[in-house]
Structure 1
């Protein structure tokens, strides 16, 4: 199977999983927990094993950012640096798949 197909499958998996997490009747912080400890590790395996183009990874990250902002109830214009920065005084324990990849 070609890696381009794996990239499309990984993007589809991310979209479907984010939608499934969003439909649950959980508070936002629990949805973030599901994202961080269940979905992101599930996505990192194909991203690290297969040669998936960076535009696909950026599309996955954009979908994750959309839901993360929604679940944390932060403005859509908030920079990703505010969410993923590890050196700030008020830091969130969030990982970016772009950094992990």
Structure 2
């Protein structure tokens, strides 16, 4: 199993779902890796840093403790895009400078721009 997302509206529902999934995984002779998972609890529109969940008798780290990258985007407890905007601009600037300095002819630089910077997942890269 590559990835599973659980979205519940209540804390006890989430705990019950995690217990059921853990039982199912045990039945399948598989185990969760809580250290590779993240939890995010939102109460009244704000990140609740106190709520934690466990699976396989191990605590799942919160997004506050360890940010997570999903579909090429980083998520942290701030839940704001302002930092991501600055990171994206910096990465784009550095990448464009690297492409410009690479010594390739113009048409190959365009290829690098298109397939390595703008659409990196075209060839399965992330």
TM-score, length-normalised on structure 2? 0.32
The structure with more strand, counted as a fraction of residues: 2
Greater helix proportion: 1
RCO higher in structure (CA 8 A, sep ≥6): 1
